[in-house]
């Protein structure tokens, strides 16, 4: 019996001990967790304080940026609301303007119809008045024309004759221009035919003679030697070729192929005259000094084409020379010093 009580009391004591032990363990566990939480909280506070101190400027900038973003967002929202209000206002204005335009168009169409009707009436009235006055003027002119027809017919006939003469002169000038175009084209295409052709070997000799010329005292002998040995034959060949072996009376044209300047001359013996021009270019007896002669010396006689423009009798030479000088305007754009 006693042992049973003893075992019972022992079991109860053991149970109480285990319960107290469990309570103590739970208490220690809770106390340890609170301690851990306190330590973690203190560490967290310390980390926050340290982080706040190290990144204070960045945090301030970040806060400012957040404030700016918030302000921009607010501005965008305000702008969106304003835009919506403007769209509504524009729609209302557009609707109002369309109504006004439609009304103005209707008023304008009505006014234009009234204006057209008035203008049509005015124009018809003026037309009737003009027809009446025109008929009156026509009757007057008819009577006047009958009275002055004879005298006017004579005047008109004179004007017609004058126009016919001018037309004939124009046609003659046109034909002359066409002939000149064809002649110039033929001379250009056959340039060597109309030029004095001095061989290259002769040109080389003439260059040497020109270099020693300043050293000589008797230049007449040198000029005669040059012309007779180097120039005379090419000149004769050119005149014979161009003039078909004749020495006609007429008007001739000499053209500088480098500058296109022209000289118009006249002679009763063109072949002889051309030879004299060439002799004068080499300081021999020929023709008087002139701008054309100086050009021959400067450019060389082989730098010109020679052609006969027209065979003319002696008594018509001056007249035709004057015509061709004016036709080519050689006193201004050529070598002629006067109009013939």
**β-strands 304-311, 250-256 pairing:** antiparallel
Condensed to tens digits (0 to 9), the pLDDT of residues 142-192 reads: 677 676 766 777 776 777 667 566 655 555 565 567 667 777 777 778 889
Buried b (16+ CB within 10 A) or exposed e, 318-335: eebbbbbbeebebeeebb
What does the radius of gyration of the chain's CA atoms come to, in whole angstroms?
A: 62
Please calculate the CA angle 242-174-184 and round it to the nearest 5 degrees: 30
Mean pLDDT throughout 122-139?
77
Q: Of 60 and 166, which is predicted with more confidence?
A: 60
Structure tokens at 200: 């290259």
Least confident interval from 33-42, 206-215, 255-264, 306-315: 33-42
Asked whether the beta carbons of 301 and 278 are under 8 A apart, the reply is yes
Where residue 240 falls among pLDDT bands split at 50, 70, 90? very high
Name the nearest CA neighbour of 277 among 296, 261, 260: 296
**Hunting for tokens 């004939």 — which residue is that?**
168
Report the Cα 292 to chain-centroid distance in Å. Answer: 41
Q: Can you tell me the distance from the alpha carbon of 107 to that of 312, in angstroms, rounded to the nearest whole number?
A: 86
Give the mean pLDDT of 114-130.
77
Nearest to 253 by CA among 198, 190, 180, 185: 180
Domain coordinates of the chain in residue numbers? Answer: 109-189, 192-333
Q: How confident is the model at residue 36 (pLDDT cuts 50, 70, 90)?
A: confident
Alpha helix (H) residue ranges in the chain: 2-54, 56-189, 200-212, 219-226, 232-242, 270-281, 291-299, 317-328, 330-333
Per CATH, the architecture of 192-333 is what?
Answer: 3-Layer(aba) Sandwich (3.40)
Those residues whose C-beta lies under 8 Å from the C-beta of residue 151, and which sit 6 or more positions away, are none
Q: Is the pLDDT of residue 35 over 90?
A: no
pLDDT over 90 (residue 193): yes
Residues in CB range of 324: below 8 A, 6 or more apart: 251, 253, 264, 309, 310
Is the predicted pLDDT of residue 289 greater than 60, yes or no? Answer: yes
Write down the pLDDT at residue 174: 59
Count Cα neighbours of 125 within 13 Å in the Cβ-side half-sphere. 6
């Amino acid at each position: 019996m006693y042992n049973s009580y003893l075992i019972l009391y022992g079991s109860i004591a053991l149970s109480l001990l285990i319960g107290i032990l469990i309570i103590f363990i739970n208490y220690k566990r809770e106390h340890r967790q609170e301690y851990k939480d306190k330590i973690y909280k203190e560490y967290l506070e310390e980390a926050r304080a340290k982080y706040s101190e190290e990144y204070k400027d960045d945090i301030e900038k970040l806060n400012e940026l957040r404030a700016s973003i918030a302000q921009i967002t607010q501005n965008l929202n305000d702008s969106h609301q304003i835009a919506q209000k403007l769209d509504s206002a524009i729609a209302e204005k557009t609707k109002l303007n369309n109504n006004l335009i439609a009304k103005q168009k209707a008023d304008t169409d009505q006014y234009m119809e009234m204006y057209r009707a008035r203008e049509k009436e005015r124009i018809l009235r003026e037309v009737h008045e003009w027809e009446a006055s025109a008929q009156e003027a026509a009757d007057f002119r008819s009577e006047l024309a009958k009275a002055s027809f004879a005298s006017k017919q004579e005047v008109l006939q004179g004007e017609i004759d004058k126009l016919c003469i001018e037309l004939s002169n124009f046609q003659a000038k046109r034909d002359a221009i066409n002939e000149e175009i064809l002649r110039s084209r033929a001379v250009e295409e056959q340039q060597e035919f109309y030029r004095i052709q001095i061989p290259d070997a002769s040109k080389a000799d003439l260059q040497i003679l020109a270099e020693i010329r300043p050293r000589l005292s008797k230049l007449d002998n040198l000029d005669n030697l040059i012309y007779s040995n180097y120039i005379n034959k090419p000149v004769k060949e050119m005149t014979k070729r161009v003039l078909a072996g004749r020495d006609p009376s007429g008007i001739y044209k000499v053209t500088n192929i480098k500058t296109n300047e022209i000289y118009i001359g006249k002679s009763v013996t063109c072949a002889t005259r051309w030879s004299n021009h060439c002799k004068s270019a080499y300081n021999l007896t020929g023709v008087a000094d002139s701008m054309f002669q100086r050009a021959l010396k400067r450019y060389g006689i082989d730098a010109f084409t020679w052609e006969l423009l027209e065979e003319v009798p002696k008594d018509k030479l001056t007249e035709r020379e004057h015509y061709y000088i004016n036709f080519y305007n050689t006193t201004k754009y050529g070598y002629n010093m006067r109009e013939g």
